[in-house]
Amino acid sequence: MSDQAADTHIDPATYDFYQSEAPFYSFCSAIGTSRHLDGFLDRLKPGARVLELGCGAGRDSARILERGFDLDATDGIPAMVAKANERHAINARLMRFDQLAAVQEYDAVWAHACLLHCPRAQLPDVLASVHRALRPQGWHYASYKLGTGEGRDLLGRLHNFPAAQWLRDTYRAAMFEIVEEQVFAGMGSDGTQRDWMALTVRRAR
């Protein structure tokens, strides 16, 4: 583990994995735009201000910009930010989930397959920050791998692996209204097939 990883407040093994694998995620043609992105963007007004958490290699970011939205792309992994900007020129910036301090700055927060790495004990605080960052009636999307408790996948990455009801309860406690939920089968990067849950929520107040 690098000294830099130790200072990130991100699980060190997860940090090191993405820091080293950023070139793969940047150039792998099998990794496309999220299946739920356009449907989510269809809910927004033209030119809406969108924060992306965990932008990774920037494929969703590029689509958000292509659709004409005002994007603020962020990721907590320096190599990912560098690759996203190199490949897509999206002006991504380095920011961890716990560093989100905006107040009613965004119309939407997009978080595809990233908050699943947030430790369960920290997720309520992160969701409170997302709520605070949204303008009234703002939208938020996130997707999670379902399970029965926090653990690691075969690549060593930390996942919160929530149960569906725990996830619903946690979002409602953070003052979000659940507008749509989808459970679907998906294969992770480690080759493991499991159920995922995608939530589209709205700031309730």
In the Cβ-directed half-sphere of 12, how many Cα atoms lie within 13 Å?
A: 7
CATH number at residue 45: 3.40.50.150
Domain count, the chain: 1
Q: Is the pTM of this model over 0.85?
A: yes
Taking only the tens place, the pLDDT of each residue in 75-111 is 999 999 999 999 999 999 999 999 999 999 999 999 9
Taking only the tens place, the pLDDT of each residue in 11-25 is 999 999 999 999 988
171: nearest Cα among 128, 136, 138, 133: 128
Pairing of strands 193-203, 134-145: antiparallel
pLDDT of residue 48: 98
pLDDT of residue 7: 43
The answer to whether 107 and 48 are in contact (CB under 8 A) is yes
Instruction: Extract the runs of DSSP E, i.e. beta strands, from 29-175.
Output: 49-52, 70-75, 93-94, 106-111, 134-145, 151-152, 158-159
User: Cα(92)–Cα(161) distance, rounded to whole angstroms?
Assistant: 27
Residues of the chain short of pLDDT 50, as ranges, are 1-8, 29
pLDDT of residue 9: 73
pLDDT of residue 187: 84
pLDDT of residue 6: 41
pLDDT of residue 27: 76
For 13, the domain range is: 3-203
